[in-house]
A and B are shown apart, each in its own frame.
Chain A
Amino acid sequence: METLLNDFSVGLFFWQTILFVVLLFLLRKFAWKPILNAVNEREDSIQEALDSAKEAKLEMAKLKSNNEDLLNEARAERDAMLKEARTMKDSIVSEAKVSANEEADKIVAAARESIQHEKMAAITELKNQVAGLSIEIAERILKDELSSADKQKAIIDNVVKDINLN
């Protein structure tokens, strides 16, 4: 301890204190403050970048899910449209079928009617011809029956006989 105290140099202590304090203030102004500020700034910027990256990732996920939704919606819409088209087609086809049937029926009915008409016309004509022929035959028979006075007398006798009975 005695040698320790004896070795203690006041001059060295003095210079050490002065030099150290000067060094402390110089370093504080020219080194530590700029360095620590820069380090802090960098750490902040890294943190910021990480945060923004995270945010971007979230945004991306959001966008992706949005896209997915849109896609799903579009798909659903397409399906709905296809379905609608199909039903429309079906209804159009069936409607067309119905209307065609109706038309055909109508045509068939019209044809039947006209056939009936023709038939009736033909029957009437035939009737007329038959009537004409009958009259002609009757005329010839009459002419033939009434050609002699005897015959005419027999007829009249016959008719008068009938009337007498009455």
Chain B
Amino acid sequence: MQVKKLVRTLLLLLLVSPIAIFAQHGNEEHSSGNHEVKTEELSEADVKAAKRKAYIKHHLQDSYDFAIWHAKGIEFPLPVILFDEGLHIFSSSKFHHGESVAESKGNFYKIFHGKIYKTDAEGTIAMDDHHHPTNAKPLDFSITKNVFTIMLMSILIFFLFSRFAKSYKTSLVPSKGGKFLEPLIIFVRDEIAIPNIGEKHYKKYMSYLLTVFFFIWFLNLAGMTPLGIGVTNNIAVTFALALITFLITQLTSKKAYWGHIFWMPGVPVPMKFILAPIELLGVIIKPFALMIRLYANMTAGHIVIMSLIGLLYVFTNWFAKGAFLGLTLFLSIIELLVAFLQAYIFTMLTALYFGGAVAEHDDH
């Protein structure tokens, strides 16, 4: 009973904690905001709004440091790995949070809007007409905050499930943690894999479906923490996942799958010619939709919650503050659901595409 209470309290703290961090940030901007009012001649409110917008954007963005509490400066640097006429590996602390130019093997680099650019020793960033830097970008394989989070969550997932798998060696009845994980695994098998792929072929896809389900779900949940490690709201991540789904679909597809695309059975011949390019386009669009759906949902969720928290500091009226606090809590709970739902949808659609790839006869 006490454990339950503790878990509930922690969950509540977790949901409220972004507000606390914002509060810290809000105080900080108060002190530094005054300087900018003088130089840029903007009203204080405008500066605040701009700062908030920047903060939200920053929160969603990848970063070269791992910030546990950004405002308090509790963070640790991560390794930067660049390919630029040779391998450059150095700690991200060299950038001093993007404020200074980092030197490595005679080359100079500077972070501008979250990206590393090659510069001269002074760190000059040349701009084109559209305010885009024209400096060269080195090939960046740094262990960023997101990469680090993926590593951590992968280790966590592996540790969790391999331990759970081991518990089966002693007894076929799931152990404590397994009682929670096993129904999810059976859910993926019975509700996602078997209905969409079919009894005959589902087994070979189970590993991928389970991995993708738990990977997305765990990373979505990690994104709910106030650490700003929303990995799944990054298009590169969802692109990689969708690409793997796409490749597996094409590599395991049967003859009937291509038959369906190029020579749709059961329609008149002229229609077959019309449908072929549409279907062919569909092959690309399907994984593209997977990629965008996950990315957009997670990004939107984060922006909405962060904006609502931001509104808490905009309004001075206590009734409004209370209302927005309630709304934030409500949406946070919705986001917990969405975290699961998006993992489910991604896995479900992946299974659906696999099912199409291995469908054998034209029973439409």
Residues of A within 8 A of B (CB): 4, 6-17, 19-24, 26-28, 30-36, 38-39, 41-42, 45
Given known contacts A15-B147, A17-B240, A23 and B235 CB-to-CB distance under 8 angstroms? no
Contact A23 to B236, CB < 8 A, known contacts A11-B142, A32-B206: no
B329 is an interface residue with CB less than 8 A from chain A: no
B164 touches A17 (CB 8 A): no
State whether A31 and B164 are in contact (beta carbons under 8 Å apart), knowing that A19-B150, A21-B244 are contacts in the complex: yes
What's the nearest-Cβ distance from chain A to residue B36, in Å? 24
User: Which listed residue (B154, B172, B207, B239) contacts A28, Cβ 8 A?
Assistant: B207
Contact assessment for A11 and B147 in the assembled complex, using a CB-CB cutoff below 8 Å = yes
Task: Enumerate B230-278 residues with CB–CB distance to A below 8 Å.
Answer: 234-237, 239-241, 243-244
Q: Are A42 and B141 in contact (CB under 8 A)?
A: no
B94 at the A interface (CB under 8 A): no
**Nearest neighbor of B139 in chain A, beta-carbon distance:** A10
Beta-carbon contacts under 8 Å, B110-160 to A: 132, 139-144, 146-147, 150-151, 154, 157-158
- Chain B positions within 8 Å of A35 at CB level: 161, 164-165, 168, 182, 185
Q: Assuming A4-B235, A36-B185, A36-B206, is B140 touching A10 (CB within 8 A)?
A: yes
Residues of B within 8 A of A45 (CB): 172
Interface residue count on the B side (C-beta < 8 Å): 45
Known: A16-B240, A35-B185. 10 other contacts (CB 8 A): A8-B235, A11-B141, A11-B144, A12-B144, A12-B236, A19-B154, A20-B211, A23-B211, A31-B165, A35-B165
- Cα–Cα distance between A24 and B239 once the two chains are bound (Å): 17
User: Number of contacts between A and B (CB, 8 Å)?
Assistant: 122
Instruction: With both chains docked as a complex, state the minimum distance between the C-beta of B297 and any C-beta of chain A, in angstroms.
Output: 15
- Docked Cα-Cα span, A33 to B206, in Å, equals 9
27 contacts between A and B (CB under 8 A): A6-B132, A7-B235, A9-B236, A10-B139, A10-B236, A11-B144, A13-B236, A16-B236, A16-B240, A17-B244, A20-B154, A20-B241, A23-B215, A24-B208, A27-B207, A27-B210, A30-B162, A31-B164, A32-B185, A34-B165, A34-B166, A35-B164, A35-B168, A35-B182, A39-B185, A42-B173, A45-B172
Let me know if B293 is at the binding interface, CB within 8 A.
no
A8 to B151, CA, bound (A): 19
Across the interface, do B215 and A20 meet the contact criterion of CB distance under 8 Å? yes
Closest to A45 in B: B172
Whether A9 contacts B140 by the Cβ 8 Å rule is yes
Whether B143 lies near A39 (C-beta < 8 A) is no
Complex Cα–Cα for A32 and B85 (A):
42
B residues within 8 Å of A by Cβ? 61-62, 81, 132, 139-144, 146-147, 150-151, 154, 157-158, 161-162, 164-166, 168-169, 172-173, 182, 185-186, 189, 206-208, 210-211, 215, 234-237, 239-241, 243-244
Least Cβ–Cβ distance between B189 and chain A, in angstroms: 7
- Residues of B with C-beta under 8 A to A39: 182, 185-186, 189
**Could you say which residues of chain A place their CB within 8 Å of the CB of B185?**
32, 35-36, 39
Closest to B143 in A: A15
Residues of B within 8 A of A16 (CB): 147, 150, 236-237, 240-241
A20 to B234, CA, bound (A): 15
Which of A8, A12, A23 is the one whose CB lies under 8 Å from B157? A23
A8 pairs with B165, CB closer than 8 A: no
| Nearest CB on A from B159, distance (A) | 10
| List of B residues within 8 angstroms of A24 by Cβ | 207-208, 211
Measured in the bound complex, the distance between the Cα atoms of B173 and A8 in whole Å is 45
Q: In this complex, what residue of B is CB-closest to A36?
A: B206
A20 and B239 form a contact (CB under 8 A): no
Q: Are A9 and B234 in contact (CB under 8 A)?
A: yes
Q: Provide the bound-state CA to CA distance between A6 and B206, in Å.
A: 35
How far apart are B212's CB and chain A's nearest CB, in angstroms? 8
Question: B234 contacts which chain A residues (CB < 8 A)?
Answer: 7, 9, 12
The residue that B165 contacts in the complex, of A4, A6, A15, A30, with Cβ under 8 A, is A30
Contacts of B172 in A (CB 8 A): 38, 41-42, 45
* CB closest chain-A residue, reference B207: A28
B176 nearest CB across to chain A (Å): 15
* CB nearest to B160 among chain A residues: A31
